[in-house]
Every structure is written in structure tokens, then in C-alpha cells.
Structure 1
């Protein structure tokens, strides 16, 4: 089945300038020489990782493309003490905090990142931006996030991030008690249906070819979830531009105000092929992600990953926590490298003497 790739940041910019990320409020200069860490991605994971590093007096540069996944959302939810904060405001505060401790935030798009020849026995990486600027770093943190791939249903994409949602924890409270339709994208949509049923008594599951066994249908019926097996033709709008319902094959329109869909999640890997980071399937075949170990370590020495790029279902709070953990781990690795270098220098001076 054909799909349409929706980058939430790009979609937001095309709909409403107020949804734009603030990444271009100002851009710091690219430093000369080698920095301790370049963070690729200026969302929750990247900024929190940079914050941990900057507070440890590491030279750190965040490269931010300015198109966060949650740009269309009115507010970030499930984040203690910051629930409801608009995403652009959250990231603006984060950039200010990183800068407060000496970190830099550079607006730009990475077109290549790759290992470089080691210097003084330590790792090096080069990162090149679309405008030709280059950065050299001892370590990298990749926090580029994911793109959502929507089912190819006419009229669906234009409502993404408003009347079309995907996460009951991110958007559920805001659509409570509304007539909700679930557009199935596979077996995982049954679980999604039961989660949204907690939020509304009026839930319809459009199977869209997903085969449901008798036990599953019985469970859905027990929760008063209507199952519709007829093919979906299009999303129908009301006079105000919102969702009015779903048109089925044959012409019937099932009234709905909100549609939920499990998207396919694809890690943002543009410009990162040179790192040769291993990838794997995400949970339930819902997409692809970078493989990672403890604290975001990867099989590529000197490169860490954090946030949705490796944990596609993580909310903002979990992504920020992962970035902080990765940042602390990177700082510890650099401390070991610094000590090794100091010991080598000491031994060299002793031999000379």
C-alpha cells in the first residue's frame, strides 16, 4: 500500500507559521578547532544531552535543523511541571539553558558525518552542514528523531497533529469523550483501540484489511467498540475545516471528530550514512531505528544515540532523560580519554628526561 511520509516540522511550517520551531531565533557561530562533542538534533534528547555536557564544562555544539516532530502540537504532555508547554517554547528554553553553560546551538542541516583520522590517540569525527560549514568533534551524540509515515488515505495528512492523532498519552486527554475512529494499520492497532476506549465511550475501529480473529472481535465487542470492515475511501471535512467523518466504499459516512492511527516510524538518518550505525526493526514492525545499548552506546566507537531515533515510542520526558544519560556517559568516556592522554604525556616527559 502506498504511504505518505509526513515530517511534522515541515507540515507545521506549511500550515501555520506559529507552529514553527524557534531554532532560528539565532544561530551561534561554528567554532574553529576540535570540540568535545557535536550533538546532531536539537529536540528534547539532544538538548538535554548537551546540557549535561555543557554543565560538565565540555565544549559542545548542537546542530539543529528546526523541524521537531511535535511541532504541530499545542503543548507537550506527560512532562512533570511542564505539562502543556508549547513545543517551540520548551525548545527555546532548552537552547537558552545550553548556552547559559557555554554550549553553542547552530542552525543547520547535516549532510555528512563520518569518522576522521585519530589525533593524539583519540577519536575524531567530521560533521559537514548543508552550507559547507564543518565541525570536528571527539564524540558524537545522534538525536535526530523520527518521521511518521501515514497510511495513504485521502484527506488524512492535512489533519495530522490536530484531528488526526497517534498517541493516547500525548493527545488522549485533549480528545476525551469525542467520537474517535481508529484507522487500523496492522495488529498493533487493536491495542491502540483499547487505549483510546479508555478515553471515550464512542470508538469505531476501521480494520482497513487487518484480519481480526473471533477472540479479538469478542473483546472489542465487550468494550462496545464498533468494528467496520468496509474499505475506507477518504476523510470527510466539515464546514469549519475539521474532521466530519470517514467515507466508506459504497458511500456511507461514519461520523467521527477524531481519528487515531498507528504511524510507521522511520529514524531520521539523512546525512548519517558515513557513520555506519547499525539499524533494526522497531517494536511490532512499526518502523526502523538505530540499535543501541546502555546509555545510548552504539557499535561505532565514539557515537551515541538518544531519543526517538532509537526509542521511537518515547515521549518528550523519556527522550530528555535518555539524552541526559547519554550526555553523562559521553562525559565519563571523555574523562577516561583525557586521563589516558595525561598519563601518556607524563610518560613521554619522563622518557625525555
Structure 2
């Protein structure tokens, strides 16, 4: 498969689908490459998404794909892109289709919407409970566990900020640091004022219930702390290296830097969604994809008109 498109969108989550919709309505020839499960696939529901609060992640994506069907210039394909090369007047991508066939795509512009991967602590229970009762976003999941015993995992300044934020949803919040918390005296004072205790014991594992919820945090000394959910802000890494491989600038936190139009430092290469700096949420990712697509279409139009 060697085809030329106006835009290749790599990543079919909220950002990619939103961008494809905008570009389809601009009559742009678009290929949306769906490389597999999205970051929020383990979650039971998408929350705080206007008009779709509580929808399952897979159902939201299915609806997004359905709504691309009326736009004949948009193709959605199960396609794992493995390499991206800059050409004189565009980009060439190579990869494999869902059936294992090699594919080569040439596009005038590329929009990356590949997202990020959360790096969870290497302790039993974190991965197994991720998305159900080990959670990262209070705005996505805080309401469902309001007024319940909560734990906040981490060290240093980030865990303090998250714990104080979680006190909005519950009066029973405990910080667990899995060893020294590296907390300043002022930080400990702020936590105490909110009634938030700090446990610095090493953690052995998280213990779940038969229904897949969190039952307790078990410490290495055999003691345990009963909790209904645990929140953390895990470190992240880019799910794809395409931007870095092409020489695009990354921020100190590893996000792909983009300008106000959503373009990276590589001309013609755009990025949207969780992979760029800013707050992360499905609705915000969709908005980011929409904005990048509008700017991308206008940039293409400027090259076509005199």
C-alpha cells in the first residue's frame, strides 16, 4: 500500500479521532492509523466528557469512528506505524497492517496523537488494579470514590499537592510513600492541617477484592492499611519515538513541544493530546486534536492559494 494523503494521523484515541473529524469536514484526504489500545482502555468509564459522562472508553472510540463514516475522504485503518521519515515535501511512514502486510504511506503532513505510557511502581497490585481502583486523575475518578478512605502514593512535592487536592473528595486521605517521603517540614505541616497522615513504611503490595477493587495497602512489616482507592501521578514516557527520531524538541518532562498551532519544531509535523504539555483528560485531548487539525488545514490552504 503506497498512497498519498493530505494528512496522516498516527493514533486513534480522542485526539486523533477529533482531528480526523475536523479534517474530514475540510474535505482533506486523511488516513487515521489505529495502532491499538488507548491509554484509558483499562478504565471502567470516561468521566467529565461533555455529553458522554460515564461512557466506556471503547464505546466512546467506537462512536467516534462511526461518526467518521459519512466523510469519504477519511480512511481509518488498523495500522501499526513503525518508522516515519521526513521527505522534501512531506513524510513517508512505513508499518504493518492488522493482517501483517507491509504498508508505506506518503502524506503532506503528519499529526502525532500517539499518547503516553504511564510507568507504574513495580509492586504487586499496581498494574492489576490500574484503572479500577489505582487511579491517576481526580477529575476523572474522584467523584466515584468520594467520602471513602483513600491513599495517595508518591514522594516529595508532587505527592503533597495531590494529597491536598484529594482532600476535596474525602476527609480520610493518607499518604503512602514506600520508604522515605522526602517531605519538608512545611509540607508535613500542611498535610497535618488537613488531617492527612503520612505512612513511610516500605510497601509490599496492594491487595484487591474479588471484584477487582482495592482492599488494602500491605506494608513490608506485615501491617496493612484499608483503603478503597489509591491515587498517584506516575511518571510517563512517550508511547512512540517518532517526534524525537525526527529531531523535534521535547520539554524537560519529556512532552513533545508544540507552538500555538500544534506544530512541533519539525515543519509539517504536528502533535496533540496527552503527548504534548498541559493537563491530561480525554475531553482536553479531543480539543487539542481539533485545534491542531484546524491550524493544520489552514496551513495547508495557505500553500494552495495565491
TM-score range, shorter chain: over 0.9
Q: Evaluate the alpha carbon distance shift between residue 89 and residue 240 of structure 1 in structure 2; reply closer, same or farther with a 3 A threshold.
A: closer
The alignment's C-alpha RMSD in Å is 1.7
Q: Structure 2 residue aligned with 1:170, among 132, 140, 147?
A: 140
* Counterpart residue number, 2:198: 227
User: TM-score under structure 1 normalisation?
Assistant: 0.81
| 2:160 maps to 1:190 | yes
Specify which structure has the higher proportion of helix.
Answer: 1
Deviation sequence 1:258-286 (CA, Å, 0-9, x none): 1111111111124555422221223xxxx
* Counterpart residue number, 2:26: 56
Q: Structure 1 residue aligned with 2:227, among 252, 256, 267?
A: 256
1:200: how far off?
1.1
Output the CA distance in 2 between the equivalents of 1:68 and 1:319. 12
User: Contact between 1:185 and 1:262, CA under 8 Å: does it hold in 2?
Assistant: no
Output the CA distance in 1 between the equivalents of 2:62 and 2:212. 30
* Counterpart residue number, 1:277: 248
* Counterpart residue number, 1:321: 287
1:312: how far off?
6.0
1:57: how far off?
0.6
User: Structure 2: where are the runs of 5+ without partners?
Assistant: none
Q: What secondary structure is seen at the aligned counterpart in 2 of 1:187?
A: helix
User: TM-score under structure 2 normalisation?
Assistant: 0.93
**How many aligned residue pairs are there?**
300
Structure number with bigger Rg: 1
User: Structure 1: where are the runs of 5+ without partners?
Assistant: 1-29, 283-287, 341-353
* Counterpart residue number, 2:46: 76
User: Contact between 2:132 and 2:212, CA under 8 Å: does it hold in 1?
Assistant: no
* Counterpart residue number, 1:95: 65
Output the CA distance in 1 between the equivalents of 2:44 and 2:204. 29
What is the correspondence of 1:194-343 to structure 2 with a 5 Å cutoff? Answer: 194-208=164-178, 209-270=180-241, 274-282=245-253, 288-311=254-277, 313-339=279-305
1:186: how far off?
3.8
1:238: how far off?
3.8
